Amino acid sequence: MRKNALGGPTAPGSTKGARRSGPRHRARTWRTWLVASVAALSVAVSLGITGMMRDNASAAEPEGPRQENFGAALRYSLTHPTAIPAGTNDWSCEPTEAHPEPVVLVHGTVENRYAAWSALAPKLKDAGYCVYALNYGGKEGGAVQGMASMHKSAQQLADFVDKVRSETGAAKVDLVGHSQGGLMSRHYIKAYGGADKVDKLIALSPPNHGTTMGGMTYLANPISDLLTRTACPSCFEQMAGSEFLKALNGGGETKPDIAYTVISTTKDKVVTPYISTFLRPATNVINQRLQDYCGSEDTGHNDMGYSPSATRLVLNALNPGQTRQPAC
């Protein structure tokens, strides 16, 4: 499998003296709009949308239908916020000799387990895995998740993994994370006891070295930073150059007894530059791009869990002894 060298983001050149109608002003406007939208969404949830959504749910964890894309899954989850992806959270599932590690699915920022995994989860179940998915980093019962600090979220993941191990009797689990889910899983491994409980970590478009959001994070202003820190602490932690990332990546990015696979797409417009997803080369690290296998692949950041080629690469990483080329 093809590996890619790590390349870090490069700050854009100075725009000192640019007029307010120039690119710098437009980027600042977009960044302020982005964080203000996140803040408004967070406030709306706290004012009662979560409760309204919870009333629409017929059970604590109703199983939702399979979906074809992230947009359809997200729309469904807004009115079914406690839904779980088909095939997940069967606490009577017993791991097999062929698949001894249960698979825990970890969603990304401002989404939820159903929106991220409604396509991939049932395919993993059909392949014979015991599959589990949690919501984290948001109000219990709410559709908007993944916004709390990753310190809090890593503890939630630690508790969930311990429950999965206890219920299944498995010594270790495999983690599959999308976006923040791949990054936060590394934080769990490093600082919350996961190093001895994880066999493999497979991450889809994780911001392992942060994101510039197309250059917007270099155009900081106090108001937008305050909104980000308050409404979505995890958003701030994922920005290129954050103190969180410096601490996480300091002293080594991986643990030697865990197999790491990063699956990225050159069409990523959320984690920019896309090469910041890659972990530093090591014998237990595989960095992959969808376009290395399917040159015409146009999957973007949000739909990574819905790409057939990405699904094939996930299955290959979970079971390296039976790999197949993605069908393009």
Q: What tens digit of pLDDT does each residue of 235-285 get?
A: 999 999 999 999 999 999 999 999 999 999 999 999 999 999 999 999 999
Q: Sorting pLDDT into bands at 50, 70 and 90, what band is 225?
A: low
Q: What is the pTM for the complete model shown?
A: 0.83
pLDDT of residue 98: 96
Nearest to 41 by CA among 176, 231, 188, 230: 231
In percent, the amount of the chain with pLDDT more than 90 equals 75
pLDDT of residue 328: 87
Q: Sorting pLDDT into bands at 50, 70 and 90, what band is 174?
A: very high
Per the model's pLDDT, the better-predicted residue between 20 and 151 turns out to be 151
The residue-averaged pLDDT of 61-66 equals: 96
pLDDT tops 80 at residue 146 = yes
Strand order across the beta sheet in which 198-204 lies = 131-134, 103-106, 173-178, 198-204, 259-264, 285-289
pLDDT tops 60 at residue 44 = no
Name the burial class of residue 105, with classes exposed (0-12), middle (13-18) and buried (19+) by CB atoms within 10 angstroms of its CB.
buried
> Angle at CA 61, nearest 5°, toward 55 and 64?
95
pLDDT of residue 294: 94
pLDDT tops 90 at residue 51 = no
pLDDT of residue 162: 98
Given a contact cutoff of 8 angstroms between Cβ atoms, the answer to whether 323 and 87 are in contact is no
pLDDT of residue 192: 98
pLDDT of residue 213: 73
The residue-averaged pLDDT of 34-62 equals: 44
pLDDT tops 80 at residue 191 = yes
